[in-house]
Amino acid sequence: MENILFDYVARYINLSDEEKQIIRELSLTKYCKKGTCVLEAGKKSQDNYFVLKGCLRCYYLIDGEEKTTEFYTELDVLSPPCVKDGTYSDYYISCVEDTVLLVSNPQIEQESFARFPRFEMLCRVISENVAAKTKKELDNFKTSSPEQRYLRLLQERPDLFQRIPQHQLASYLGITPQSLSRLRGRLVKK
């Protein structure tokens, strides 16, 4: 499974066989069954995730209702804010499908930087990319209508429409399942 990570990393740096071996020996891979909750709101955690296979969903529980804010699929990096600031998580992370993750933490990362300074560069570039992507998503969400969000999602992440239950997709788009259904109807007629 680690080869998926190595292919991803190869976009930025070419790992030596020694570096690959060390990553393998860290045994970061974790297999989670569909429905597994990998992080609960109100709990602390030090775990950062890299999705090798499957899908994670982040959601808040607000007035007894689940509000889905993000889906993380293959090659996505998920670093919960509670890891960074040492506070309690505001949200839940659960597996929409059987999921294979690489689970890291700041201590492992720090040790790897000490041994392989290039990893620090790698993590800087990935963090910059995650920050830029998140900012774009925030701006998109602020400046678009539900219909525009739906069309963008269909274009950029069409797989989600096969993988995610309708009510979770609707929640993610910031609308009710009924509105999503009507929206689809309108677009089919166009």
Q: Enumerate binding residues for a second copy (CB under 8 A).
A: 58, 60, 62, 67, 69-70, 79, 81, 84-85, 90-91, 113, 117, 120-121, 123-124, 127-139, 141-143, 174
- The residues that bridge with 102 in the sheet, in sequence order, are 29, 50
Contact between 79 and 48 (Cβ < 8 Å): yes
* CB neighbour class for 42 (10 Å; exposed up to 12, middle 13-18, buried from 19): exposed
Q: Alpha-carbon distance 181 to 162, whole Å?
A: 15
Q: Which is nearer to a second copy, 111 or 137 (CB)?
A: 137
CB of 150 to a second copy, least distance (A): 15
Q: Which is nearer to a second copy, 10 or 121 (CB)?
A: 121
**2-9 helix and 17-25 helix, angle to the nearest 10 degrees:** 140
Of 22, 156, 42, nearest to 91 (Cα)? Answer: 42
Contact between 45 and 89 (Cβ < 8 Å): yes
Q: Alpha-carbon distance 44 to 175, whole Å?
A: 30
Q: Which is nearer to a second copy, 91 or 150 (CB)?
A: 91
CB of 3 to a second copy, least distance (A): 25
The DSSP symbol for 29 reads E
CB of 25 to a second copy, least distance (A): 24
Q: Which is nearer to a second copy, 98 or 151 (CB)?
A: 151
Residue 74 phi, psi dihedral angles, 5° rounding: -45, 130
CB of 34 to a second copy, least distance (A): 24
CB of 79 to a second copy, least distance (A): 7
CB of 142 to a second copy, least distance (A): 5
